Chain A
């Protein structure tokens, strides 16, 4: 595994093929659970853990699985891992487990987990697949946290509320009140807020890509500015 290969894996996971804002996979938990930073971060990290283990697991047994039944085998493997994560959270972070509820078992059906197993882990080494799981998981987590932060600030005027569910009662003082005496903007907390905020994040990524592309072209030759500046940007 070369240094460049590792760099590529992380660049793909965190930015170019980011599961949240480029591949748009796993939108169900992304939209449903991103109403606060703590929820978003917890589910993101749980998904990262599952993806790392499932990636390396699939890569380890990829030579021995019959090609025809590979998808059920992947799913079984993922389901086992998710069950373990679920039991761990049930045991050690019970109140958070209650808040995340159905979305922990639903990691099994998260398309991004299966997508990486099929498109990356089944063709690469154990080490590379584990790295890919980490990179993709962190990419998803980053989007979840940003989305959760936006929605929490606009919706409640706070950040990190509910952190006591992870670190116990003593962590309650970590909650940051960004806007004191806030009226609350329910839309941001409700599902439409998730769609709108995610749309804006995707637009921002496309805009940054477009700008980078223009800069790269601008160094070699002058490119005519794109009319209106809002034409659909190419993905990476």
Chain B
């Protein structure tokens, strides 16, 4: 009989392994994405991955760092995937390339590479794209069965790389504004929330199709929680704040403010709550700090969604809270055992 005695030494998690599991956790959401919107997203993810790895290798070489060592940590890959998932799937190829290259080269490596970047690189990439190319960033694919026309995979490829659409098909026939954007525009036209949600692009919770994708990301996020790659503080505080804020507005005026669950399952809320805000580099390390950080992000996301001029507030809320992280961490240092708590 053999016996095991403590202490047990566990194999330490490497950055590479953790990043790989985060990538895996994105798969259910991506699968549902393909199911509802077609395979175009796979192409933009592949393109973003290639660009991310290429830019990462180039920047590492320029900075005289060991290329293969850092290239294997999968962090560039994750940035590329998150960016590809945040922008319209049928984006022209250069949109993906410019966004990803900017994210890796400027937002990550100019600040010192992995572990030193104050801002989430994928969100910087998104912000650059939505500010620079607002038109291309609003052409979201309509889910299966809702558009006037649908493109086959080859036609989608043709559009992404050559910009050519088949005859008789216009861009408007295959794309639409996001459910969140449509809601905002229609509300400005004095329609009530109830009327708007009756439109065919809306499903049970939020947008037809996109609600399922959000659900997929939530599943992946729950896996990350179960695998202890992330802690509960950020997702719970973020989604909780979003729910409560949206709930207060909704209770006060249900005709003009949509129910909180809609906010949970539309836009990048789920992706943000589990995959973007929880980035260990750009979020606080202290527990209380995480709660403050995520609460702020939830509040800002809601405010930008309702009162801002951009379709979704997730990216800008993340970036605004990212810049607060050093201050938050400074003021939430736990007291050292045996010492009286002192403000820094």
B14 contacts the other chain (CB 8 A): no
- Complex: how many Å from CA A183 to CA B91? 14
Residues of B within 8 A of A196 (CB): 106
B186 contacts the other chain (CB 8 A): no
* A228 partner, pick from B64, B98, B133, beta carbons under 8 A: B64
Q: C-beta contact mask, A203-233 vs B, less than 8 Å → 1, else 0?
A: 0000000000000000000000000111000
Is there an interface contact between A229 and B63, defined as CB atoms closer than 8 Å? yes
B128 contacts the other chain (CB 8 A): yes
- Chain B residues touching A, majority SS: helix
Is there an interface contact between B133 and A190, defined as CB atoms closer than 8 Å? no
Is there an interface contact between A187 and B128, defined as CB atoms closer than 8 Å? yes
Chain A nearest CB, measured from B260 CB (Å): 33
Residue of A nearest to B102 (CB): A187
Residue of B nearest to A225 (CB): B64
* B64 partner, pick from A183, A187, A199, A229, beta carbons under 8 A: A229
Is there an interface contact between A190 and B64, defined as CB atoms closer than 8 Å? no
Is there an interface contact between A185 and B132, defined as CB atoms closer than 8 Å? yes
Chain B nearest CB, measured from A85 CB (Å): 34
Residue of A nearest to B109 (CB): A230
A73 contacts the other chain (CB 8 A): no
Residue of B nearest to A186 (CB): B132
Chain A nearest CB, measured from B54 CB (Å): 20
- Complex: how many Å from CA A199 to CA B111? 12
* B65 partner, pick from A188, A190, A199, A228, beta carbons under 8 A: A228
Within 8 A of B (CB), among A174-211: 183-188, 190, 192, 196, 199
- The winner among A183, A185, A192, A228 for most chain B CB atoms within 10 A is A183
Chain A residues bordering chain B, tally (CB within 8 A) = 13
Residues of B within 8 A of A187 (CB): 128, 131-132
Chain A nearest CB, measured from B12 CB (Å): 26
> How big is chain B's contact interface, by range?
10 to 19
Residues of B within 8 A of A184 (CB): 132
Chain A nearest CB, measured from B130 CB (Å): 10
- Complex: how many Å from CA A186 to CA B128? 9
Is there an interface contact between A186 and B63, defined as CB atoms closer than 8 Å? no
- Complex: how many Å from CA A199 to CA B106? 11
Is there an interface contact between A228 and B63, defined as CB atoms closer than 8 Å? yes
- The winner among B65, B132, B134 for most chain A CB atoms within 10 A is B132
Within 8 A of A (CB), among B26-66: 63-65
Within 8 A of B (CB), among A155-175: none
Residues of A within 8 A of B63 (CB): 228-230
- Complex: how many Å from CA A15 to CA B64? 27
Q: C-beta contact mask, A91-118 vs B, less than 8 Å → 1, else 0?
A: 0000000000000000000000000000
Residue of B nearest to A154 (CB): B132
Residues of A within 8 A of B134 (CB): 186
Residues of A within 8 A of B110 (CB): 199
- Complex: how many Å from CA A187 to CA B103? 14
- The winner among A196, A228, A229, A230 for most chain B CB atoms within 10 A is A230
- Complex: how many Å from CA A185 to CA B63? 27
Within 8 A of A (CB), among B88-140: 98, 106, 110, 128, 131-134
- Complex: how many Å from CA A59 to CA B133? 51
Known: A186-B132, A228-B65, A229-B64. 18 other contacts (CB 8 A): A183-B133, A184-B132, A185-B132, A185-B133, A186-B131, A186-B133, A186-B134, A187-B128, A187-B131, A188-B132, A190-B131, A192-B131, A196-B106, A199-B110, A228-B63, A228-B64, A229-B63, A230-B63
- 12 example contacts (A-B, Cβ-Cβ < 8 A) are as follows A183-B133, A185-B132, A185-B133, A186-B131, A186-B132, A186-B134, A187-B128, A187-B131, A190-B131, A199-B110, A228-B65, A229-B64
Across the A-B interface, the 9 shortest Cβ-Cβ residue pairs: A187-B132, A186-B132, A229-B64, A185-B132, A187-B128, A187-B131, A228-B64, A230-B63, A186-B131
